[in-house]
Structure 1
Amino acid sequence: MKTILYLTDFYYQANGRNYYEEDLYITEKLKPHFNVLIGHPHQAISNLEKADVVVFRNTGPIAGYQEYFQEMLKVVKEKNIKTFNSFDGKGDILGKQYLLELTKAGFPVIPTVSNISQLEILGDTDIYVVKLLNGADSIGMEFLTKDQLVAASPSGKIIQPFIDFKYEVSFYFLNEQFQYALYAPDKSKRWKLEEYHPSNDDLIFAEKFINWNGIQHGVTRVDACRKQDGSLLLVELEDLNPFLSIDLLSESKRQNFLDNFIRALKQV
């Protein structure tokens, strides 16, 4: 029986989500299949070699312990430690830089720049959204007019146009295989989610980013917004530790995901 080091922060307070409830539930389901050790991400390095696989789950934003996290990545690479997710993604694990890259490459993503000299790329908008380049969980996000933006001349941040979308929808993938989708019908309540039945076009959209990212193994969440014209734009590609919201799934879908999750961990 494999031993898993399950990294999580039970005390992290996330808006609209109870991280600890999800991880307590998942670890209970893993126990019949693995020896499960639970650890805090800030104390991971000294325990990495005590398990066959390190599962990096609801640890909260890494911005608060960026230096320690980078040291952990170094140790993982040097000692060839198996992790889930694998730390080889190009999305949120590296910050918001990928939004700039995807914009330049012409992907269906909210247009993103890093300098006020590039505002013409964002099109016509009255309000701009400014986010930290290495931020997460809406930390440090601002809504500015053009005059306010020019006056602030932000550095180390990304700039996007404010999008008047219909709703947000998230597509969840496990080892590049689609699992389920959830959406927020009330856009003012981001985490009041319901099951969503994606169309073939929706899945083609989401798979573009999964294929581009190409992580070896793990859970990836593709967050998108539905524009008023019906098209989708990428909001975020969460490839480090996406919250799963599995408590909102039907029993059959939840069990199917857990079966696939357990199978994937056994194969790492």
Structure 2
Amino acid sequence: MSSGRPSVLFVTDLSYEARGRRYCDEDIYLSSQLREAFDVALCHPRDAQALMDRFDVVLVRNSGPVIYYPEQYRAFRDHALATGARVFNELTGKADMAGKQYLVDLCRAGYPVVPTVEGVDDLDRLPQSDAYVVKPKFGADSVGLRILDPTQLRGIDDRDVLIQPHVAIDYEVSFYFIDRTFEYALYTPDPAQRWQLRAYEPTQADLDFAQRFIDWNGMRHGIQRVDACRTAEGTLLLVELEDLNPYLSLDSISEQRRLRFVRQLTGALSELAATDLPGR
């Protein structure tokens, strides 16, 4: 029997192990909070396509990199697009959701992005560096990432990879958004400790920087994380725009901000659940 409340299929892999983070803790907390407003069921990403039609909204959270289950993700995505399912994040993302080609495209278009090319033939377009970062276009969680010196770089297989100079930075900073609205920011005082995070109070210039990429992506419904680095010269550069299932580091923010985030997410999901599906 229906409770009369909207239902949410919470897609997560509670067993996924990530370096420096416990995804399961975040999703256990978040799903428990959402139960105050929704009927919530958790499922593994491999089961999402088979279950999604029974729910008002599908919330994709810490489900792990889709490189580990590409066929199931493709089936989920195709089914969602064919049926007009309410998916949060919606499947229109142009950033990490579609691979990392966007970093090359944004760099070419003059956006403030870590300089990025897609092959050794384009190395002359990058600043000279003592080391280069090579990462797969369809990687995640640093899977397949390599740091090479210039002599090593010339001999690589550069199909489906990105190449960036190893940039000297002061710190990394992440900006978190729900439905294109800024929620909070965190930074890494020690760049060598990526997930040792502290609260960051952004300036208006910082917010303008992050909002520019959110506006570029054009996603109406979803959680996005703008990852940037502050260079030694003081400039902010985009590192990644996580628009599929960004880890939120909720344990690194205050209880007040955490509860505000839950309220905002509840409102966003409620709004999405109330929208009409195609053909109804």
Alignment partner for residue 205 of structure 1, among 191, 202, 209? 209
Task: Say yes or no: does 1:110 pair with 2:79.
Answer: no
Shift of 1:122: 1.0
Secondary structure of the 2:118 match is coil
Q: How does the TM-score come out when normalised to structure 1?
A: 0.99
CA distance in 2, matches of 1:70, 1:215: 20
Alignment partner for residue 239 of structure 2, among 231, 235, 243? 235
CA distance in 2, matches of 1:95, 1:67: 16
CA distance in 2, matches of 1:116, 1:32: 53
Task: Say yes or no: does 1:24 pair with 2:5.
Answer: no
Shift of 1:234: 0.4
Query: 1:160 is matched with which residue?
Result: 164
Query: 2:141 is matched with which residue?
Result: 137
Query: 1:246 is matched with which residue?
Result: 250
Ranges in structure 1 where 5+ consecutive residues have no aligned partner: none
| Contact 1:85 1:241 (C-alpha < 8 Å) held by counterparts | yes
Deviations 1:112-167 (A, max 9, x none): 11111111111111111000110000000111111111111421111000011111
| Contact 1:56 1:240 (C-alpha < 8 Å) held by counterparts | yes
Query: 1:176 is matched with which residue?
Result: 180
Task: Say yes or no: does 1:221 pair with 2:225.
Answer: yes
Deviations 1:197-216 (A, max 9, x none): 00111001101100100112
Secondary structure of the 1:10 match is coil
CA distance in 1, matches of 2:255, 2:156: 49
| RMSD across aligned positions (CA) | 0.7
Secondary structure of the 2:69 match is helix
Ranges in structure 2 where 5+ consecutive residues have no aligned partner: 273-280
Q: How does the TM-score come out when normalised to structure 2?
A: 0.94
CA distance in 1, matches of 2:129, 2:270: 49
Secondary structure of the 1:254 match is helix
Percent sequence identity over matched residues?
44
Moved over 2 A (4+): none
**One-letter amino acid of the counterpart of residue 154, structure 2:** V
Secondary structure of the 2:224 match is strand
| Contact 1:170 1:221 (C-alpha < 8 Å) held by counterparts | yes
Deviations 1:207-244 (A, max 9, x none): 11001001121000000000001110000000000001
Residues 113-132 of structure 1 mapped to structure 2, 5 A cutoff? 113-132=117-136
Shift of 1:67: 2.0
Give the number of aligned pairs: 268
Query: 1:150 is matched with which residue?
Result: 154
